[in-house]
Each structure stands twice: as structure tokens, then as C-alpha cells.
Amino acid sequence: MSGNPPTDPTVADEIVGAVRSWVDAEVIGNVEAFEHADDFPDAMFEQMCAFGLFGATIAPEHGGLGLDATTYARIIEELSRGWMSLAGIVNTHKIAATMIARFGTTEQQASLLPRMVDGRFRAAFSLSEPDAGSDTRSMRCRARRDGDEWVVNGTKMWVTNGVRASLVMLLAKTADDQITCFLVEKEPGDAFEGITASKKIDKLGYRGLETVEMSYVDHRVPHSSILGGDDGIGHGLQYALSALELGRVNIAARAVGVAQAALDDAIAYAKERETFGKPIAHHQAIAFRLAEMATKVHAARLVTYDAARKFDAGERIDLDAGMAKLFASEAAFEVAMDAVRIHGGNGFTTEYRVERYLRDTPLMIIGEGTNEIQKMVIARRLLAESS
């Protein structure tokens, strides 16, 4: 299923160029103050709102920009080149918008999508639990019907933007262990009518935005909050997995952005740092490493954009998105590690950005389905197509 129609190339280049210029001018030099303190970048967030990024893929009839997946992937790459956490601020919001646009009722779309164009009405995506990550069938969060309401009880993990969100796409088990998606509206903050951000999760990387554990204790939502209405009961996991396919393209684009940043810093350092009377870039060992890094970044970008283009063309992308996420995330980790090696001892200090790239890249390997899960998906499709 395709999303928005192709974006005019001139418009796409203008938007991506504006984001790139902003990242160069305002993000790259100011990241560390927020990164090491793990503080939310309010001013950067406000600029992302001004760019319209939270409505980037929302259709124009709802007030959004209506960008296609390829243009959006390019934007995510630029944000991640500056600071990967910026892409995280908008990504879960985009997953929610995609689910509502694809599977929501006409009333749900009309009520929520126009508000979601502004990032101040931000969405979070809530699937994982302490004992249920890739194994979604182990989910324990439950919703019990009580007249025209549902009563939700359970605990969710790894909820990005959970505190600041106004809308949570909550996956919970209903009758007969069916998984249903609820559109849970709340006030931003640590607690709201039976919903509590019970623990802030400290992370190796991906800092500057909150990732929390959220607990639901007898929280009530109206029956109308089921994504897709009555037809959506029991189809929540299907809806979520469909949106996560495009989310994997997003993760791949993030990986490309971080890998490009690592390559850029490695090249700059190799040209400046001298040993034995010449820049280390002129030593064959370093030059060969740079060549391999650049090749990996280029290949990762190509496989990512290829998956996005296939989505825009209406083609099935589970295989392509899995390959893009697998290859780009592993390449980003390798390129970041090589950048640290090129920096030598300096790469192990917080004075240089490469240590942040190395801390951020594992998220792409784990997020939106671990790479081991991606390999299973890829192999399953390959075997099915060969029969």
C-alpha cells in the first residue's frame, strides 16, 4: 500500500535543503549541551514544528505537507546527521499518524490528524512490555470492556515521547487474547487519570528525549477510541506491523545519517592529524579504511532509498524494508567504530563527536525489530518467493 503521491522534486529538494542548512547552522554545534545532560532540546523542537515536520506525511486535506516516503527518509537522514535523537522526536509521531491515516475511521482521521500536524499534539507508540518485545503474543497489558468504555491495566516499556505525548497508540489484549489498538488521549506529563510514567529509562545513547515505562491502572477509554472502530477489534497488531514496515525505512535513514556524520568527521580529522610528518589520511591504512567507510555509507543510502521508492510506488516492502534496516544499521555501527579508530585516543573522549555516534548506532540495530528478527523476515520471504 502506497502513501502520499510523489513529491515534486523541486519542492522536495527545497525542504530537504532547508533542513540540511538548519542542521549545519544550529544543530551540530549545539548538540553536546543537551546530549550529555540528557535534556530535551526545546528550541530545536520548536524549529521542527516551524518546518512542519510533524505533519510531513499527513495529507494536505488534514493540513499536512503530504510528503512521500522518499522525501521523508531524506529529511530523517539530515536530522540524524546532526543528532539522531531529533529523528526520534518525530518518528513515533509519524508511526501513529500513518496508522490513523491507513486504518482509522473517518471520524478518527478528522479529529486527530489536523491536530497532529502541530508537534505540540504529539503521539507516542506503545507496543513493547517488560516481557514482550519481539514476542508480541506474550503481551500482558489488557483492556476489559465495561459498557461504552474499556478499562486498561498493564505496563509498557520503551515508550519514546511518553511523557510529552498527548496521544498514545496503545496495543492491549482484549477478549480471546486478541490484540487491539486504542487511541489513548492524555495530558502531557508524568501522570494522567490512571496513566503514570512509572520509570524513566536511562540509555547508552539516544539521549535528550524521554524513554519511559508507562503503567496503566484502571484507566478508562471510550469505545470510540479503538483504532478502526468495531472493525479494528483484534487487528491492532496487524495495523502496528504494517506501520512498522515503513518505520524500518525510517530507522535505516537514521543509520545513514549517523554513518554520514561519522564519515565526515573521520575525513576531517584524518586530514588534520599528522603523524610521521604527514596527515594520517596519506597513510594507506587510514586511506583504505576511509574508502571502505564511504562505500558502506553509499550502499546503505541506496538500499534505504530503494525501499522508500518501492513504498511510494505501492509495492510490498517487507523484504526491502527489512534489508534496508539490517544493512544500514550494521553499516552505521561499523562506520562509527572505524571513525573512533581513526581518531585514536581522542575518539574515546567526549571532546569529539564520534563517541556519540558509536553510542547511538546500537539503537538502530535493536529498534523496530532486532536485526535477528529482520533476518528471519528476509529469509522467510526469500524462501517463499523461490518455491
Q: Is residue 1 part of a domain?
A: no
User: Are both 245 and 356 inside the same structural domain?
Assistant: yes
> What Cα–Cα distance (Å) separates residue 137 from each residue in 106, 181, 334?
29, 14, 33
User: Which of 72, 93, 116 is the C-terminal boundary of a domain?
Assistant: 116
User: Are both 372 and 315 inside the same structural domain?
Assistant: yes
Cβ atoms 118, 55 nearer than 8 A: yes
309-313: average pLDDT: 95
Q: Is the pLDDT of residue 1 over 60?
A: no
> What Cα–Cα distance (Å) separates residue 269 from each residue in 157, 290, 358?
39, 11, 16
Length of the chain: 387
pLDDT band at 4 (very low <50, low <70, confident <90, very high): confident
What is the reported pLDDT for 360? 97
Q: Is the pLDDT of residue 386 over 90?
A: no
User: Are both 137 and 225 inside the same structural domain?
Assistant: yes
Q: Is residue 206 part of a domain?
A: yes
**Structure-block grid coordinates of residue 69:** 516516503
Q: Is residue 58 part of a domain?
A: yes
Q: Is the pLDDT of residue 62 over 80?
A: yes
User: Are both 205 and 297 inside the same structural domain?
Assistant: no
User: Are both 322 and 377 inside the same structural domain?
Assistant: yes
Give the CATH number for residue 136. Answer: 2.40.110.10
What is the reported pLDDT for 134? 75
User: Are both 273 and 328 inside the same structural domain?
Assistant: yes
**Structure-block grid coordinates of residue 145:** 470492556
Q: pLDDT (tens digit, 9 = 90+) per residue, 110-135?
A: 999 999 999 999 999 999 999 887 77
User: Which of 192, 215, 234 is the C-terminal boundary of a domain?
Assistant: 234
297-323: average pLDDT: 96
pLDDT band at 356 (very low <50, low <70, confident <90, very high): very high
Pick the catalytic residue from 77, 107, 368, 385: 368
pLDDT band at 290 (very low <50, low <70, confident <90, very high): very high
What is the reported pLDDT for 3? 77
Q: Is residue 214 part of a domain?
A: yes
What range defines the domain where residue 341 resides?
A: 237-386
Query: For a pLDDT cut of 90, what percent of the chain falls above it?
Result: 92
3-state helix, strand, coil in the chain (%, to 5): 60, 15, 25
User: Are both 151 and 45 inside the same structural domain?
Assistant: no
77 is catalytic: no
Which carries the bigger pLDDT value, residue 36 or residue 236? 236
Give the CATH number for residue 64. Answer: 1.10.540.10
How far from chain centre, in Å, is Cα 268? 28
What is the reported pLDDT for 138? 86
User: Are both 78 and 154 inside the same structural domain?
Assistant: no
User: Are both 128 and 31 inside the same structural domain?
Assistant: no
pTM score: 0.95
252-270: b or e for each residue (b if 16 or more CB lie within 10 Å)?
Answer: bbbbbbbbbbbbebbbebb
User: Are both 309 and 203 inside the same structural domain?
Assistant: no
Q: Is the pLDDT of residue 14 over 60?
A: yes
Q: Is residue 181 part of a domain?
A: yes
What is the reported pLDDT for 185? 97
Q: Is the pLDDT of residue 137 over 80?
A: no
What is the reported pLDDT for 184? 98
What is the reported pLDDT for 136? 77
Distance CA 220, CA 80 (A): 37
User: Are both 107 and 143 inside the same structural domain?
Assistant: no
**Structure-block grid coordinates of residue 314:** 505501492
pLDDT band at 198 (very low <50, low <70, confident <90, very high): confident
Split into its structural domains, the chain has a count of 3
pLDDT band at 2 (very low <50, low <70, confident <90, very high): low
Cβ atoms 216, 194 nearer than 8 A: yes
Distance CA 367, CA 284 (A): 36
Q: Which residues are CB-neighbours of 218 under 8 A, at least 6 positions away?
A: 151, 152, 153, 194
User: Which of 65, 83, 116 is the C-terminal boundary of a domain?
Assistant: 116
What is the reported pLDDT for 364? 97
Q: pLDDT (tens digit, 9 = 90+) per residue, 365-377?
A: 998 889 999 999 9
User: Are both 251 and 376 inside the same structural domain?
Assistant: yes
